[in-house]
Amino acid sequence: MRRLLPALLLVLVAAIATAGCESTFDKAAKLRAEQGTIAEVEAVDVEQTQGITAETLAIIPSADGLMAAVVIEVSSTGPGLLWAPIEVKLLDSAGNEVGTNNVPGADPTLIHLPSLAQGEKALYVNDQIAITGTPTEAKVTVAGAPVTAPLLPGLAVTDQVVTEDPSFGTTWTATVTNNTEARQQQVIVQAILRDGKTITSAGIAIVAGLDPGASAEVQGFFLGTNKGELEVFAPAGNAADGSGAPSPEQAGDATVSMG
């Protein structure tokens, strides 16, 4: 299991650390960075896919104003999508861009929607968008070629628990089991806390490679409060024929682009 940060956030973390004062946020960011390396990819060039709409369910800035989490609900009135590029631009109240997930060096798991079945809905969660202001809305673009083959259901999630860590704040753990017939190359495990109709916290964790029948324990960090009921999702990113998410090694050598 790995936990990655965008290149810009790594620069911010390094700058803060050299100032000599290490906050709880700094410690959490360093732990995330230690669990993986940034893939050398270019920013995604996205062009909206017809029949796909997106609704922003939550934008959650961190307490120090350095980063934000987003929860986006993506819906399909027509095609299904698999490992589809997604761009989120965060805007302030004046309409100025204050953050985006689509930056050079972003890990592919932060700029892709694992899967979206025809006529269904899926969540996109990202808790690692570096910001330079206060975001109030999100502009979302979802790309990708339509998929006609049936997509696999989400992976089984059990033993999900919220804990309070004295060093890292509110964290969550869960066990993910690949109950599909295909190896899942990169499993994006998404977690939210929902207080009534309000999403108060969001976080993700990544499982790099999970064979059919295999299980993995994951741990993630939350941006937001510790209020609400825990919900954890692990959508499939590979179809039965293996198409979809590349292996982490392949993803690190690729340039992701859409015409």
State how beta strands 81-91 and 52-61 pair: unpaired
How many other CB atoms are there within 10 angstroms of residue 158's CB atom?
10
* Residue 93 scores a pLDDT above 60: yes
Contact 162, 172 (CB under 8 A): yes
Q: Answer yes or no: is pLDDT of 225 > 90.
A: no
Give the chain's mean pLDDT: 82
Q: CA neighbours within 13 Å on the CB side: how many for 233?
A: 21
Instruction: With beta carbons less than 8 A apart as the criterion, state whether 86 and 111 touch.
Output: yes
Q: Which pLDDT score is estimated for 145?
A: 84
Domains of the chain with bracketed CATH? 52-142 (2.60.40), 156-253 (2.60.40)
Task: Please report which confidence band the pLDDT of residue 3 belongs to, taking 50, 70 and 90 as the band edges.
Answer: low
pLDDT at 11 over 80: no
Percent above pLDDT 90 for the chain: 64
156-185: pLDDT as tens digits? 999 999 988 787 788 999 999 999 999 999
- Count other Cβ atoms within 10 Å, centred on residue 12: 17
Q: Mean pLDDT over residues 213-227, rounded? A: 93
